[in-house]
């Protein structure tokens, strides 16, 4: 078991409404998993609780073999004093430097390397931000809508590349796109309102990889299950 | 930039001069109260060299005081951005002290330091220091979460990087505040010289006031306006250069 959330209870200071009430779920193996749920259900809050950015909650979060947990969100920006290439070179640990070229190429960022972050399109900005996180040492990377504003083809290419390059790492992909989580994710944690019990439901996705065919009937079935669960 | 600012100043100056002449001739005032155009011109020819040296002296002190106050505001702003008790104390103290008129404190400075360069410099620095400090504290204590998050989560954040990010993201505001405070530095120096000093254009204006010589004051005002405009244009150019070199373009 990699990550276990046990009976989490949380409400924001000053708020009367619970965000989580006895929420429990677990991620048992590495891979590309999803955290799915309607807006405002607490996906980002849960992500911040896992990374330790939010404390003072009831229950327990235990992780095994996951010492470095990173969280990235789609509104992040790079400092404007250097271009993308200089920034990536400066923030990449020595052992990961060889991955820069491959990730830049796979994510279609070659033409952006000599530009400043502010000069990029929203999709390019999100891809650049995700690239720099993937170049870090991590055991779990929580991607909070990190591929927003990226076209479907590129998104698919990026997710498949991540799966190929980091098979032993754990990813928690926060998305509102039911097709994409059903198709690419291994385990789908569906977060529900605190009125529902249990508050989190775990479903299996198709976990499509390079060379693995998509089962359309199964995908439709899975999407229905996710929608019904949420 | 240069011609526009000089042009604006000349327009305002000559409108003021014309208004003064209108008052003089409509009320039939004597040359002793408001000198005629000829007398102003003659005073200008006789004293402009001397006054130019005095204005440059004042401008040098103002620039020094301005630089000093920028350095002080940066250091105190860096400390004041923290969440420890000393930072909170600095912020509260800055807000309270800035409300106190420096001109009222100036006599104490002259009594303690005399009427030399140090008093002029200190008063000039103090007058433009507090507006700078309040802006610097505000800018440096405001987190830029969408940039800082990465450095914090990868444990790369240190105080230098934090200050760099916040200053860089607010470079337009910083430049505007610095340019704006330059006028205050000049005003502060002239006020200091006017109260008690032995050099500078403020000192010359004080003498002219004792002599009730309005033409000398008008010549001094003209030179102050031109030199201040030149300094502001220089700062605006510097700000433009910094924004172009380091800005998000």
pLDDT in tens, A46-97: 999 999 889 889 999 998 878 899 999 999 999 988 899 999 999 999 889 9
Residue B68 and residue B128 in contact, taking contact as beta carbons nearer than 8 Å = no
Measured in degrees and rounded to the nearest 5, phi and psi for residue A32 equal -100, 100
For residue B247, pLDDT beyond 70: no
Mean pLDDT within A134-143: 94
Q: Which chain A residue lies closest to B147 (C-alpha atoms)?
A: A77
| Main-chain dihedrals φ then ψ at residue A7, nearest 5 degrees | 45, 55
Are the beta carbons of B155 and B116 closer than 8 angstroms? no
Task: Please check whether residue B224 is in contact with residue B204, taking contact to mean a CB–CB distance below 8 angstroms.
Answer: no
Burial class (CB in 10 A: 0-12, 13-18, 19+), B30: exposed
Backbone φ and ψ of A33, nearest 5°? -105, 165
User: What chain A residue is nearest to B149 in terms of C-alpha separation?
Assistant: A76
Most A CBs within 10 Å, among B148, B150, B152, B171, to test the A interface:
B150
What element of type H or E holds A215? none
Per the structure block, which two tokens stand in for B97? 């002290």
| Cα–Cα distance, A93 to B77 (Å, whole number) | 32
| Mean of pLDDT values over B22-51 | 89
pLDDT digits (tens, 9 = 90+) for B151-174: 999 999 999 999 999 988 888 888
Task: Write out the two tokens for A29.
Answer: 């193996």
- Burial pattern A143-168, b for ≥16 Cβ within 10 A else e, equals bbbbbbebeeebbbbbbbbbbeebee
Residues B164, A73: C-beta atoms closer than 8 Å: no
d(CA B249, CA B245): 8
CA distance A75 to chain B (A): 6
By residue range, what is the domain housing residue B160? 2-246
pLDDT tens-digit series, residues B65-100: 899 889 988 888 888 777 777 777 777 777 777 667
Could you give the number of structural domains in chain B? 1
Whether B248 shows a pLDDT value over 60: the answer reads no
Dump pLDDT digits (tens) for B199-231: 889 999 999 999 888 999 999 999 999 998 888
Average pLDDT, chain B: 86
Q: Between these two residues, B3 and A130, which has the higher pLDDT value?
A: A130
* Domain A3-76+139-229 of CATH type 3.40.720.10: no
Which tokens go with A212? 């693995």
Helix (H, G, I), strand (E, B) or coil at A40: coil
Predicted confidence at residue B249, as pLDDT, reads 41
* Of the partner residues B149, B156, B168, the one whose CB lies closest to the CB of residue A80: B168
A171 and chain B in contact, CB less than 8 A = no
User: Are the beta carbons of A77 and B146 separated by less than 8 Å?
Assistant: yes
CB pairs under 8 A between A and B: 39
Q: What's the pTM?
A: 0.80
What is the CATH number for B48? 1.10.3720.10
- What's B21's DSSP letter? H
């Amino acid at each position: 078991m990699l990550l276990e959330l046990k009976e989490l209870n949380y409400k924001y200071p000053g708020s009367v409404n619970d965000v989580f009430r006895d929420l429990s779920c677990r991620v048992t193996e590495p891979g590309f998993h999803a955290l799915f749920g309607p807006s405002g259900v607490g996906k980002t809050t849960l992500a911040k609780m896992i990374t330790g950015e939010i404390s003072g909650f009831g229950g327990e979060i235990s992780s095994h073999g996951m010492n470095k947990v990173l969280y990235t969100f789609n509104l992040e920006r790079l400092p404007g004093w250097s271009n993308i290439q200089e920034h990536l070179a400066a923030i990449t640990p020595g052992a990961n430097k060889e991955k820069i070229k491959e990730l830049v190429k796979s994510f279609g960022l070659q033409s952006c390397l000599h530009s400043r972050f502010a000069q990029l399109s929203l999709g390019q900005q999100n891809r650049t931000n995700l690239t720099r996180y993937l170049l870090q040492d991590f055991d779990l990377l929580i991607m909070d809508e990190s591929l927003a504003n990226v076209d479907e083809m590129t998104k698919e290419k990026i997710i498949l590349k991540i799966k190929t390059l980091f098979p032993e790492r754990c990813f928690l992909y926060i998305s509102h796109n039911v097709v994409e989580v059903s198709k690419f994710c291994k385990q789908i944690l569906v977060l529900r309102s605190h009125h529902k019990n249990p508050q989190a439901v775990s479903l299996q996705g198709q976990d499509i990889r390079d060379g693995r065919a998509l089962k359309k009937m199964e995908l439709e079935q899975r999407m229905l299950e996710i929608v019904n669960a949420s | 930039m240069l011609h526009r600012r000089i042009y604006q100043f000349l327009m305002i100056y000559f409108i003021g001069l014309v208004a003064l002449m209108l008052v003089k001739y409509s009320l039939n005032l004597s040359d002793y109260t408001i000198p005629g155009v000829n007398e102003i011109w003659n005073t200008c020819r006789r004293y402009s060299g001397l006054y130019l040296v005095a204005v440059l002296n004042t401008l040098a002190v103002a620039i020094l005081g301005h630089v000093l106050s920028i350095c002080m505001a940066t250091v105190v702003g860096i400390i004041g951005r923290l969440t420890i008790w000393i930072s909170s104390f600095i912020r509260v103290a800055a807000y309270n002290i800035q409300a106190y008129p420096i001109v009222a404190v100036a006599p104490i400075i002259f009594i303690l330091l005399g009427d030399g360069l140090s008093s002029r410099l200190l008063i000039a620095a103090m007058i433009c220091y507090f507006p700078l400090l309040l802006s610097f504290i505000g800018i440096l204590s405001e987190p830029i979460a969408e940039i800082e998050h990465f450095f914090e989560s990868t444990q790369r954040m240190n105080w230098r990087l934090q200050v760099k990010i916040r200053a860089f993201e607010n470079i337009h505001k910083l430049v505007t505040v610095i340019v704006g405070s330059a006028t205050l530095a000049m005003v502060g120096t002239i006020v200091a010289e006017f109260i008690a000093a032995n050099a500078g254009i403020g000192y010359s204006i004080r003498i002219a006031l004792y002599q009730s010589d309005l033409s000398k004051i008008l010549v001094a005002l003209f030179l102050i306006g031109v030199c201040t405009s030149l300094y502001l244009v220089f700062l605006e150019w510097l700000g433009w250069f910094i924004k172009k070199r380091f800005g998000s373009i």
